[in-house]
Amino acid sequence: MIDLLICYDVKTETEGGRRRLRRVAKICVAHGQRVQNSVFEVSVTDVQLLQMREKLLNAMDVTEDSIRLYRLRQPREKFVEAHGVDKYLDFNEPLIL
């Protein structure tokens, strides 16, 4: 699996921008989770990456928005550090309720 960080930059002052963010979020969340309002951590296969990239390019406005995909290092927990409000849930760990 390829671990990716996806950062989506879109102006949310307009209804169009908010709609595109919802679309992008839906595409990303299918393969991972939303860690910030417009930042996502996903795990995909090569084929899923091709499909996801195509969907993202269709959902965004390439003349207005910016999307950046970063391949993450493993093990994840060693290379990520979070401060403040943290939305990340580790689905590989047992969930304690």
* Residue 78 C-beta: closest distance to a second copy, Å: 8
Contact between residue 51 and residue 28 where contact means Cβ atoms under 8 Å apart: no
Residues 6+ apart with CB under 8 A from 59: 20, 23, 24, 27
The answer on whether 90 is annotated among ligand-binding residues is no
CB of 97 to a second copy, least distance (A): 23
Q: Is 37 in the site for a second copy (CB under 8 A)?
A: yes
Check binding of 47 to a second copy (CB under 8 A).
no
Q: 10 Å Cβ neighbour count for 32?
A: 18
Q: Which of 18, 19, 26, 68 binds a second copy (CB under 8 A)?
A: 68
Per the CB < 8 A criterion, the answer to whether 10 and 67 are in contact is no
Give the footprint of a second copy on this chain (CB under 8 A). Answer: 5, 7, 9, 35-39, 56-57, 60-73, 79-87
